[in-house]
Amino acid sequence: MKVAIITFPGSNCDYDCWHAVRLVGGEPIYVDHRATDLGRVDAVILPGGFSYGDYLRAGAIASRAPIMRAVRAFAAEGGPVLGICNGFQILCEAGFLPGALVRNRGLKFRSRWVHLRIESADPPFFRAYRPGQVVRWPIAHGEGCYVAPPEELARLEAEGRVVLRYCDPTGRRTAASNPNGSLHDIAGIRNERGNVVGMMPHPERAVETLLGSVEGLGVFASLSEATDTTMASAGGSHG
Taking the domains of the chain in order of start, what are their residue ranges?
Answer: 2-233
Average pLDDT over residues 124-149: 97
Count helices and strands (H / E) in the chain. 5, 11
**pLDDT at site 231:** 45
Integer angstrom CA distances of residue 208 from 112, 131, 182, 198: 17, 23, 28, 22
pLDDT at residue 233 is higher than 80: no
Its pTM stands at 0.93
**pLDDT at site 70:** 98
Note the pLDDT tens digit of each residue in 156-208. Answer: 999 999 999 999 999 999 999 999 999 999 999 999 999 999 999 999 999 99
Which residues are marked as active site? 85, 202, 204
Q: Which of 59, 93, 100, 95 is nearest to 76 (CA)?
A: 95
pLDDT at residue 27 is higher than 70: yes
Superfamily of structural domain 2-233 = Class I glutamine amidotransferase (GATase) domain (3.40.50.880)
Among the residue ranges 14-23, 86-95, 121-130, the one predicted with the least confidence is 121-130
Are 161 and 97 in contact, with CB atoms under 8 Å apart?
no
* Beta strand spans in the chain (E): 2-7, 27-32, 43-46, 81-84, 100-102, 110-118, 134-141, 145-147, 162-167, 186-190, 196-199
Band (232; pLDDT cuts 50, 70, 90): very low
State the DSSP H helix or E strand holding residue 81, giving kind and residue range, or none if neither: strand 81-84
